[in-house]
């Protein structure tokens, strides 16, 4: 009986050891990707007041910063962490790279304590800014509050010519938001942790020399589906 119990305990221990290493779904980086996918789908499919589909189709890159918390910017000068994905030659969206956002004035609409943020990089100049060590919105990169609705027909000239368009979502309400003075920079530690080796945002987003982990595939499929250009 004692031997049988010993064998059972050892079996349970071995099973635990074989299933526990590197569970990406439990990592902060994987949680960020999962949350970003949920925010992007909600932002793009909201009836009447979501991000216009034709702007998603034009975008070169999509950035999502889920759950920005009011007051968090006082810690380390940043108030949000998120991911960017950029369009590949095939038209599909590629592997995600991690970024932080901070500084400036976010503007907390509707008195909410949390807000989600979506950024669209609309042209090659905007993509180049994204690959810098850091850049400020409204400084190095032109930015405008994005229009809401099924199409971008009501967009102003400034919006249509901006390098980056931005939206926020607080308490279920979508709104184009100005982020002038806000600084975006690559989150090198998170990217290294997720890909398990030192890689740059340029390697992932533009050179596309880094294979996308399996755990990023769902996010990439969603981003591709929502931004698919007409054939």
pLDDT band, residue 183 (cuts 50/70/90) = confident
What is the average pLDDT across 142-160?
Answer: 71
pTM above 0.75, yes or no: yes
SS (H, E, C) the chain: CHHHHHHHHHHHHHHHHHHCCCCHHHCHHHHHHHHHHHHHHHHHHCCCCCCCHHHHHHCCEEEEEEEEECCHHHCCCCCEEEEEEEECCCCCECCCEEEEEECCCCCCHHHCCEEEEEEEECCHHHHHHHCCCCEEECCCECEEECCCCCCCCCCCHHHHHCCEEEEEEECCEEEECCCCCCEEEECHHHHHHHHCCCCCHHHHHCCCCCCCCHHHHHHHHHHHHHHCCCC
pLDDT band, residue 65 (cuts 50/70/90) = very high
- 200's tokens: 């740059």
In this predicted model, which residue has the larger pLDDT, 189 or 173? 189
pLDDT band, residue 8 (cuts 50/70/90) = very low
At 138 the pLDDT is 77
Question: Where is average pLDDT lowest: 35-39, 43-47, 76-80, 146-150?
Answer: 76-80
pLDDT band, residue 161 (cuts 50/70/90) = confident
pLDDT band, residue 73 (cuts 50/70/90) = very low
At 100 the pLDDT is 92
Question: Where is average pLDDT lowest: 117-121, 123-127, 152-156?
Answer: 152-156
């Amino acid at each position: 009986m004692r031997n049988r119990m010993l064998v059972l305990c050892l079996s349970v221990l071995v099973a635990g050891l074989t299933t526990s290493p590197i569970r990406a779904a439990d990592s902060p980086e994987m949680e960020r990707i999962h949350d970003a996918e949920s925010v992007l789908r909600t932002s793009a499919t909201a009836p009447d007041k979501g991000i216009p589909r034709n702007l998603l189709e034009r975008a070169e890159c999509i950035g999502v910063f889920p759950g920005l918390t009011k007051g968090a910017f006082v810690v380390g000068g940043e108030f949000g962490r998120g991911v960017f994905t950029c369009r590949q030659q095939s038209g599909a969206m590629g592997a995600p790279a991690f970024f932080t956002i901070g500084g400036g004035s976010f503007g907390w609409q509707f008195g909410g304590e949390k807000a989600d943020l979506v950024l669209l990089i609309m042209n090659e100049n905007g993509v180049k800014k994204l690959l810098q060590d850091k850049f400020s919105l409204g400084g190095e990169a032109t930015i405008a509050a994005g229009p809401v609705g099924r199409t971008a027909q009501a967009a102003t000239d400034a919006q249509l010519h901006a390098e980056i368009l931005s939206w926020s979502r607080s308490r279920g309400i979508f709104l184009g938001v100005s982020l002038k003075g806000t600084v975006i920079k690559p989150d090198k530690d998170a990217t290294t942790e997720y890909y398990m080796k030192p890689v740059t945002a340029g390697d992932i987003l533009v050179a596309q020399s880094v294979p996308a982990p399996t755990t990023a595939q769902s996010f990439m499929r969603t981003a591709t589906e929502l931004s698919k250009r007409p054939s």
